[in-house]
């Protein structure tokens, strides 16, 4: 993901939050630090994205954004913590589809529902990669790419 794309998504997020603030009486937002709950393990893509966005939000709003890592149970622990947070707009959840589409089928009892949350903005999708087995002679990326392009049926 490029910095320009990250900036575009951040601006959309900030505009959405600012518009929501104006819709609720025009009071200033944020009035205290923001807690961004990330229900996934530190060091992954979600952590990196949350920290980049948190830094930019801090610069834009003048209030600190604290990234709160709460991994476990396929994201259910952190999501439940976010669902129980005060509904004052100072707690954000860095979510993905698995929290609302997969977890209800994995766990008989969740401490949250998709109806508990309102989306603010979409974030860039995490990129996946394709790999070849170690024994493959075509290990370098450029070679693999050209080989797949020439013979897509393989």
Q: Which two tokens stand for residue 114?
A: 């998709």
SS3 50: helix
pLDDT of residue 78: 92
Distance CA 31, CA 40 (A): 27
Class of 3-150 per CATH? alpha beta
Distance CA 58, CA 36 (A): 12
Indicate the pTM of the whole model: 0.67
Among 34, 134, 144, 38, residue whose Cα is nearest residue 95: 38
pLDDT of residue 23: 47
Mean pLDDT per 10-residue section of the chain, whose length is 154 residues: 51 51 61 90 87 88 91 91 86 85 88 84 60 51 60 58
Query: Which DSSP string do the residues of 117-139 spell out, in sequence order?
Result: -------PPPPP-----TT-S--
pLDDT of residue 77: 93
Which residue is associated with the tokens 């698995």?
Answer: 98
Among 6, 44, 23, residue whose Cα is nearest residue 122: 6
């Amino acid at each position: 993901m490029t910095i320009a794309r990250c900036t575009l998504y951040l601006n959309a997020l900030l505009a959405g939050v600012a518009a929501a603030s104006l819709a609720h009486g025009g009071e200033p937002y944020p009035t205290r630090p923001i807690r961004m709950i990330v229900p996934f393990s530190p060091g992954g893509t979600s952590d990196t994205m949350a920290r980049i966005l948190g830094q930019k939000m801090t610069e834009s709003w003048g209030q600190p954004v604290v990234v709160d890592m709460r991994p476990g149970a396929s994201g259910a622990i952190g999501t439940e913590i976010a669902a129980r947070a005060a509904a004052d707009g100072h707690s954000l959840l860095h979510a993905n589809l698995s929290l609302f589409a997969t977890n209800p089928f994995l766990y008989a009892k969740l401490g949250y529902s998709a109806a508990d949350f309102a989306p603010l903005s979409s974030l860039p999708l995490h990129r996946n990669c394709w790999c070849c087995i170690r024994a493959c002679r075509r290990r370098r990326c450029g070679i693999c790419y050209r080989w797949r392009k020439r013979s897509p049926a393989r």
